[in-house]
């Protein structure tokens, strides 16, 4: 009998989660009897995993057109991709789906992962992919190599003070982590810690013996954190892709004088550009 938190019916090659698995996945994530997460084992096959790891470990960001990440206020419709790196070798690449894919497989996986997550949370497969609404997904490739205190314990989508604002207080939200590294081989330390629906705190990678290529969908409201991480010799560090829904900010106003001739002509003829 299939275990509640071990659903393997969806892979990148299938793209869609089977209709019959939606209920089991929702029970595992949302119900008090569930773990608060589901694992899709081998979501990436071996070749896909090898490609994705080597692509991002060897990624030449200087030639990529990524801009230095200066804060989430720069996230706006049709913005470029962003990168942050530090001296300890920690890297974060923010990929948005409207940009030409730097790696087609990562881009395809982002659509699939986000679509499966959206369907389990009761949204359409294509919701929040392109920036028409308040939020849009980014594929955040994250490589943690040396970190004492990474992300303190917190809950997402639980901002009670802003509960009447769109998307600020939403129990249906699910985060996705596509695992690209192995605890004990690529890194040691606390890694990703997660509070299950029964209140127990676990290191998910250890508790579920997660392997590179596995996909974990987890309840965004549950307490979670990333603790100390240390890359092991010959390893990649703690490497994974997260799929946060980023708030889209308004594009900066363009001064009329810097508009193109055609835009100014259109403004004169039709009253707007
Ligand atoms: Fe979070």
Residues in Cβ contact with 44 at an 8 Å cutoff, skipping those fewer than 6 apart: 11, 12, 52, 109, 178, 212, 213, 215
Q: How far is the CA of 264 from the centre of ligand 1 (A)?
A: 44
Give 153 or 258, the one with higher predicted confidence. 153
For residue 18, what pLDDT is reported? 80
Has residue 1 been placed in a domain? no
For residue 9, what pLDDT is reported? 61
Has residue 203 been placed in a domain? yes
For residue 147, what pLDDT is reported? 84
Has residue 14 been placed in a domain? no
Q: How far is the CA of 89 from the centre of ligand 1 (A)?
A: 22
For residue 57, what pLDDT is reported? 97
Q: How far is the CA of 272 from the centre of ligand 1 (A)?
A: 40
Q: How far is the CA of 156 from the centre of ligand 1 (A)?
A: 5
Q: How far is the CA of 155 from the centre of ligand 1 (A)?
A: 6
Q: How far is the CA of 16 from the centre of ligand 1 (A)?
A: 25
Give the confidence band of 273 by pLDDT, cuts at 50, 70, 90.
very low
Residues in Cβ contact with 97 at an 8 Å cutoff, skipping those fewer than 6 apart: 107, 110, 111, 129, 130, 136, 137, 138, 139
Residues in Cβ contact with 95 at an 8 Å cutoff, skipping those fewer than 6 apart: 81, 101, 102, 106, 107, 110, 138, 139, 140, 141
pLDDT digits (tens, 9 = 90+) for 90-112: 999 999 999 999 999 999 999 99
For residue 129, what pLDDT is reported? 92
How remote is the C-alpha of 245 from its chain's centroid? 7
Paired tokens of 21: 């698995």
Has residue 11 been placed in a domain? no
User: For residue 86, is pLDDT > 60?
Assistant: yes
User: For residue 134, is pLDDT > 90?
Assistant: no
Give the confidence band of 7 by pLDDT, cuts at 50, 70, 90.
low
User: For residue 1, is pLDDT > 60?
Assistant: no
Q: How far is the CA of 257 from the centre of ligand 1 (A)?
A: 42
Has residue 4 been placed in a domain? no
Stretch 6-21: mean pLDDT: 68
Query: Shortest CA distance to 173 belongs to which of 76, 77, 40, 36?
Result: 36
Q: How far is the CA of 29 from the centre of ligand 1 (A)?
A: 16
Q: How many domains does the chain have?
A: 1
Give 2 or 212, the one with higher predicted confidence. 212
User: For residue 173, is pLDDT > 90?
Assistant: yes
Instruction: Give the domain extent around 36.
Output: 19-270
For residue 164, what pLDDT is reported? 78
User: For residue 49, is pLDDT > 90?
Assistant: yes
Give 13 or 64, the one with higher predicted confidence. 64
User: Which residues have CB atoms below 5 A from the ion given as ligand 1?
Assistant: 156
Q: How far is the CA of 99 from the centre of ligand 1 (A)?
A: 24
Has residue 9 been placed in a domain? no
Stretch 159-174: mean pLDDT: 83
Has residue 29 been placed in a domain? yes
Q: How far is the CA of 44 from the centre of ligand 1 (A)?
A: 23
For residue 126, what pLDDT is reported? 87
Q: How far is the CA of 154 from the centre of ligand 1 (A)?
A: 6
Mean per-residue pLDDT over the chain, rounded: 88
Give the confidence band of 73 by pLDDT, cuts at 50, 70, 90.
very high
pLDDT digits (tens, 9 = 90+) for 207-263: 999 999 999 999 999 999 998 999 999 999 999 999 999 999 987 665 555 566 556
The interaxial angle of helices 104-120 and 19-30, nearest 10 deg, is 70
Has residue 152 been placed in a domain? yes
Give the confidence band of 128 by pLDDT, cuts at 50, 70, 90.
very high
| CATH number, domain with residue 170 | 2.60.120.620
Q: How far apart are CA 8 and CA 30, in angstroms?
A: 18
Q: How far is the CA of 220 from the centre of ligand 1 (A)?
A: 7
């Amino acid at each position: 009998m299939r275990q509640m938190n071990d659903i393997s019916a969806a892979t990148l090659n299938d793209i869609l989660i089977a209709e019959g698995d939606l209920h089991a996945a929702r029970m595992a994530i949302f119900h008090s009897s569930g773990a608060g997460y589901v694992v899709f084992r081998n979501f990436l096959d071996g070749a896909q995993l090898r490609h994705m790891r080597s692509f991002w470990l060897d990624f030449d960001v200087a030639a990529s057109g990524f801009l230095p990440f200066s804060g989430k206020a720069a996230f706006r419709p049709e913005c470029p991709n962003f990168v942050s790196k530090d001296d300890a070798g920690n890297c974060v690449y923010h990929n948005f789906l409207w940009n030409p894919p730097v790696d087609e497989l990562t881009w395809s996986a982002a659509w699939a992962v986000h679509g499966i997550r959206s369907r389990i949370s009761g949204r359409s497969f294509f919701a929040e992919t392109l920036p028409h609404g308040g939020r849009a997904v980014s594929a955040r490739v994250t490589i943690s190599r040396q970190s004492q205190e990474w992300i303190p314990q917190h809950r997402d989508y639980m901002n009670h003070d802003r509960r009447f604002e769109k998307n600020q207080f939403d129990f249906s939200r699910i985060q996705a982590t596509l695992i690209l590294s192995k605890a004990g081989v690529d890194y040691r330390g606390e890694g990703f810690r997660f509070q299950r629906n029964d209140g127990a705190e676990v290191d998910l990678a250890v508790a579920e013996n997660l392997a590179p290529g596995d996909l974990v969908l987890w309840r965004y409201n549950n307490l979670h954190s990333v603790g100390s991480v240390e890359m092991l010799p010959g390893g990649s560090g703690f490497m994974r892709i997260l799929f946060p829904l980023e708030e889209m900010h308004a594009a900066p106003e363009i001064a009329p004088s810097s508009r193109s001739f055609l835009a100014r002509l259109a403004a004169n003829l039709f009253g707007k550009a």
